[in-house]
């Protein structure tokens, strides 16, 4: 019995070994489950990895677009390489009010950091607001030290203008999407966003600064609401300076709806008055109708055309004058008589030729168009002395350049060129030869109207223009005072045209003569000879040494 029991015991032991095999089978099932779960996770990981790769590729494409259009814009520099506009990385800092733990405490902190700003309404009324765009490194470090998670930092690319207001009307602006919306930024938007090369201008920063300073001083003296000036090389068309006041800070992008900020140098259209008398004389010489010595006898002080009177501005002007004397003394009646001799067809053709009656193609789009109405007998007479025709300062500068440079065609430009091709002659060469000495006498002689611009050493010539500003039903008493100058008259190289918008006579201002005469105080005349000419003289005194040594 014991043996049987022993065998039975052995059998049970062997059975336990078979039990081990069943346990092994159970382990195999668990491994299969683990493999299946691993496979599921592998597929999920693969899907997510693919998604990440695709997103990274999309980001690269996006970044490339940003680099081309939003993050990149070539610099704009002046003729000497000074940076006028440049794209740089900046940091904007904002706040998500929903993440702020203690809003009142944070408002106190912000007030200390930004004393001129009030964030209370934004803190309680917005989901996000900017604390400071283009924040300084110093302010950024102070904010980071607060350790507040509600602050959001944005790395951006911004356009900066180192000279602030100095070139505002010329350079123009860009919008938040890096698109040019005015000035050169708009005209050359494609070039600036696709080329790595800077846009090189003809402008000179030193000249721009000096001229602007004198125009700002003129506002203090004559209380004009605005002004403009263009300095141009009359042989190449290169514009060395172009200013319109008031101007604005390009680094503070705003919508400018106020008409005071119009570009008075290119967009503003004005009647400039007697500066047109130069064109009248030039047209007469060009068509061989008059010569400087041609006499006009018994000129009346007043004539009537279509029931509208035309009078001399000064009754002291003699009744017998030569064509040259008419221009020097700025005679209205004599200029009307010369225009009458020239005729409508010739005068129209002449003004077309020098660019007064044709739309000018220019480097910025903000350009006005000449307004004059229809030609007629009376229109011919009034245009002869600068009444009844309105144009831009840019076109006026071009016209003066052509009649002074030997009669050669030019195209005013702000963009520097490697090579210049001289324009064809479009006027009789006798025009400049005979006209320039007359312009010089307007400045250098006692009979002339521009003595305050007679800066020694520069042979300045030019013509004054005083015009009433048109109003509903007629003309107001407000003035546009202009002086168009060229120098040196023996070999003209520069044209400087200056305009003051609504200046006022200053009875307390003291005029210091350059010829040694005693100072003069108490002027009541609101004419170009006593306003714009004075400013032009001051400008040439400042810029003359630069022009003489640099150009």
Give mean pLDDT, residues 268-276. Answer: 97
- What are 510's strand-pairing partners? 521
Q: Which residue has the higher pLDDT, 38 or 318?
A: 318
* Tens digits of residue pLDDT in 62-111: 323 333 345 689 999 999 999 999 998 889 999 999 999 999 999 999 99
Residue boundaries of the structural domains of the chain: 1-70, 76-166, 207-248+261-550
**Inter-CA distances, 8 with 16, 25, 478, Å:** 13, 26, 134
Give mean pLDDT, residues 275-297. Answer: 98
Dihedral Cα 390, 395, 401, 404, nearest 10 deg: -30
- Band (pLDDT 50/70/90 cuts) for residue 516 is confident
Question: What local confidence, expressed as pLDDT, does residue 461 receive?
Answer: 98
- Distance of alpha carbon 483 from alpha carbon 228, whole angstroms: 11
Question: What local confidence, expressed as pLDDT, does residue 538 receive?
Answer: 98
**What is the DSSP secondary-structure string of 99-155?**
G-S-HHHHHHHHHHH-TT---HHHHHH-S-EEEESS--HHHHHHHHHHT-TTEEEEE
Question: What local confidence, expressed as pLDDT, does residue 3 receive?
Answer: 41
Q: What is the DSSP letter of 371?
A: B
Q: Which of 4-18, 139-153, 258-272, 368-382 has the lowest mean pLDDT?
A: 4-18
Question: What local confidence, expressed as pLDDT, does residue 411 receive?
Answer: 96
Q: Which residue has the higher pLDDT, 377 or 254?
A: 377
Q: Is the pLDDT of residue 415 over 50?
A: yes
242: its two tokens = 């172009």
Q: Is the pLDDT of residue 386 over 60?
A: yes
- Band (pLDDT 50/70/90 cuts) for residue 454 is very high
* Tens digits of residue pLDDT in 176-197: 788 999 999 999 999 999 999 9
Question: What local confidence, expressed as pLDDT, does residue 40 receive?
Answer: 61
Helix (H) or strand (E) holding 401: helix 393-404
Q: Is the pLDDT of residue 33 over 70?
A: no
The pairing of beta strand 308-311 with beta strand 302-305:
antiparallel
Q: Is the pLDDT of residue 219 over 90?
A: yes
Question: What local confidence, expressed as pLDDT, does residue 425 receive?
Answer: 97
- Band (pLDDT 50/70/90 cuts) for residue 482 is very high
Question: What local confidence, expressed as pLDDT, does residue 61 receive?
Answer: 33
Spatial CA neighbour of 275 closest among 432, 427, 434, 393: 393
Question: What local confidence, expressed as pLDDT, does residue 37 receive?
Answer: 64
Mean pLDDT across the chain: 88
Q: Is the pLDDT of residue 465 over 60?
A: yes
- Distance of alpha carbon 429 from alpha carbon 408, whole angstroms: 9
Q: Which of 341-350, 413-422, 426-435 has the lowest mean pLDDT?
A: 413-422
Q: Is the pLDDT of residue 7 over 60?
A: no
Length of the chain: 551
Q: Which residues contact 340 (CB under 8 A, 6 or more apart)?
A: 380, 381, 384
Give mean pLDDT, residues 362-369. Answer: 96
| % of residues, the chain, pLDDT over 90 | 74
Identify the residue whose tokens are 């324009």: 423
Q: Is the pLDDT of residue 368 over 70?
A: yes
Asked if residue 372 lies in contact with residue 330, where contact means CB atoms within 8 angstroms, the answer is no
Question: What local confidence, expressed as pLDDT, does residue 38 receive?
Answer: 63
Q: Is the pLDDT of residue 281 over 90?
A: yes
- Distance of alpha carbon 503 from alpha carbon 224, whole angstroms: 4
Q: What is the DSSP letter of 239?
A: E
Question: What local confidence, expressed as pLDDT, does residue 27 receive?
Answer: 45
**Ramachandran area for residue 89 (φ above 0: left; ψ -120 to 50: alpha; else beta):** beta
Helices (H) and strands (E) in the chain, counts: 16, 16
Terminal CA-CA length for the chain: 135
| % of residues, the chain, pLDDT over 70 | 86
Question: What local confidence, expressed as pLDDT, does residue 34 receive?
Answer: 65
Query: What is the separation of C-alpha 548 from the centre of its chain, rounded to a whole number of angstroms?
Result: 26
Question: What local confidence, expressed as pLDDT, does residue 177 receive?
Answer: 83
Q: Is the pLDDT of residue 200 over 90?
A: yes
Domain 76-166 has CATH 3.90.1310.10: yes
Q: Is the pLDDT of residue 533 over 70?
A: yes
**pTM for this one?**
0.83
Q: Is the pLDDT of residue 10 over 50?
A: no
- Band (pLDDT 50/70/90 cuts) for residue 125 is confident
Q: Which of 30-44, 308-322, 384-398, 453-467 has the lowest mean pLDDT?
A: 30-44
Query: What is the separation of C-alpha 103 from the centre of its chain, rounded to a whole number of angstroms?
Result: 43
Which 3 state secondary structure label does DSSP give 395?
Answer: helix
Which 3 state secondary structure label does DSSP give 507?
Answer: coil
- Band (pLDDT 50/70/90 cuts) for residue 16 is very low
Give mean pLDDT, residues 442-467. Answer: 96
Question: What local confidence, expressed as pLDDT, does residue 252 receive?
Answer: 84
User: Which listed CATH number (3.40.50.970, 1.20.1050.10, 3.40.710.10, 1.20.1440.230) goes with 207-248+261-550?
Assistant: 3.40.710.10
The pairing of beta strand 76-77 with beta strand 199-200:
parallel
């Amino acid at each position: 019995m014991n043996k049987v029991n022993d065998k039975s015991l052995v059998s049970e032991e062997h059975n336990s070994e078979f039990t081990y095999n069943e346990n092994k089978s159970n382990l195999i099932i668990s491994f299969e489950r683990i493999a299946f779960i691993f496979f599921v996770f592998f597929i999920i990981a693969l899907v997510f990895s693919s998604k990440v790769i695709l997103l990274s590729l999309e980001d690269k494409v996006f970044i490339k677009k940003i680099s081309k259009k939003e993050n990149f814009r070539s610099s704009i520099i002046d003729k000497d390489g000074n940076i006028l506009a440049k794209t740089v990385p900046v940091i904007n800092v904002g706040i998500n009010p929903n993440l702020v733990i203690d809003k009142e405490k944070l408002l106190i902190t912000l007030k200390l950091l930004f004393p001129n700003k009030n964030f209370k309404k934004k803190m309680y009324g917005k989901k996000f607001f900017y604390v400071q765009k283009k924040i300084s490194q110093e302010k950024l470090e102070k904010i980071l030290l607060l350790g507040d998670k509600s602050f959001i930092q944005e790395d951006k690319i911004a356009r900066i203008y180192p000279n602030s207001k100095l070139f505002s009307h010329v350079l123009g602006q860009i919008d938040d999407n890096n698109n040019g919306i005015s000035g050169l930024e708009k005209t050359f938007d494609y070039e600036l966003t696709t080329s790595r090369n800077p846009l090189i201008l003809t402008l000179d920063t030193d000249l721009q600064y000096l001229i602007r300073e004198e125009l700002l001083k003129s506002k203090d003296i004559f209380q004009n609401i605005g002004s403009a000036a263009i300095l141009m090389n009359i042989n190449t068309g290169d514009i060395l300076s172009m200013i319109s006041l008031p101007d604005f800070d390009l680094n503070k992008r705003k919508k400018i709806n106020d008409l005071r900020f119009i570009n008075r140098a290119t967009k503003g259209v004005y009647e400039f008055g007697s500066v047109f008398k130069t064109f009248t004389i030039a047209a007469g010489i060009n068509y061989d109708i008059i010569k400087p010595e041609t006499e006009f006898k018994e000129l009346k002080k007043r004539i009537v055309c279509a029931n509208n009177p035309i009078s001399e501005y000064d009754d002291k002007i003699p009744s017998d004058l030569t064509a040259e004397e008419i221009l020097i003394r700025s005679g209205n009646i004599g200029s009307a008589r010369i225009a009458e001799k020239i005729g409508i067809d010739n005068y129209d053709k002449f003004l077309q030729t020098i660019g007064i009656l044709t739309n000018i193609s220019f480097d910025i789009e903000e350009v006005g168009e000449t307004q004059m109405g229809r030609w007629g007998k009376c229109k011919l007479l009034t245009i002869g002395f600068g009444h009844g025709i309105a144009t831009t300062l840019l076109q006026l500068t071009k016209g003066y350049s052509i009649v002074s440079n030997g009669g050669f065609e030019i195209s005013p430009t702000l963009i520097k060129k490697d090579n210049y091709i001289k324009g064809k002659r479009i006027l009789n060469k006798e025009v400049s030869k005979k006209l320039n000495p007359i312009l010089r006498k307007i400045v250098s002689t006692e009979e002339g109207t521009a003595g305050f611009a007679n800066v020694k050493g520069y042979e300045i010539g030019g013509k004054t223009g005083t015009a009433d500003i048109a109003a509903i039903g007629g003309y107001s008493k407000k003035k546009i005072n202009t002086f168009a100058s060229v120098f040196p008259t023996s070999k003209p190289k520069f044209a400087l045209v200056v305009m003051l918008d609504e200046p006022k006579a200053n009875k307390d201002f003291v005029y210091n003569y350059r010829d040694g005469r005693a100072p003069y105080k108490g002027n009541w005349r609101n004419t170009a000879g006593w306003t714009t000419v004075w400013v032009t003289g001051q400008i040439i005194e400042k810029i003359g040494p630069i022009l003489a040594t640099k150009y």
